[in-house]
Amino acid sequence: MSTSGLDAQSSKAEIEAILQVIASVEHAQNNELPEEFLRLFRADAIWTTGGGKRLFGIEEISAFTHQVLPGGMQDLTITFELEHVLFIRPDVAAVKLRQIYQTPEGPDVGSPLWVMAKENGRWLLTAAQNIGAPDDELDSATTSRPIFDPGR
């Protein structure tokens, strides 16, 4: 992980704080808790869903989240694995994740990139884009892309 501009102790503390945000996103999505999810965003955030829907600002993110999250995780679970953090500045980080959906049809893997900004001592989601990982990262037994299906 790149920690330019941060000493080792600061870097470790900031990564731990970022891991807490990742855990909160995972918890909010798995438990279908829109308000918990929305508290993790800046008011002017940009969010691009795995299906390519572009959302600008917390109002659009909120409307979309309240529409899809209740019931959207039925028969699904999601986990996030932190792959890399690049501190652009001490208070701005690019966070690369591996997102694994467990579905009745099998796993599907996403590759989100989150830009996070630290404001008033809290790391917040500022800009995010989610895409499916290449097919070669999927279990060879997987025959479909239930989450990142281009036809969805």
pLDDT tens-digit profile of 70-95?
888 888 899 999 999 999 999 999 99
Under 8 Å between Cβ of 3 and 12: no
What integer best gives the mean pLDDT of the chain?
86
Q: What pLDDT is stored for residue 42 in this prediction?
A: 97
Residue with more model confidence, 133 or 41: 41
The yes-or-no verdict on residue 99 having pLDDT over 70 is yes
pLDDT given for residue 97 in this prediction? 96
> Rounded to whole angstroms, how far apart are CA atoms 82 and 110?
12
Cα 112 from chain centre: 6
Q: Which residues on adjacent β-strands are paired with residue 78?
A: 101
pTM to 2 decimal places: 0.81
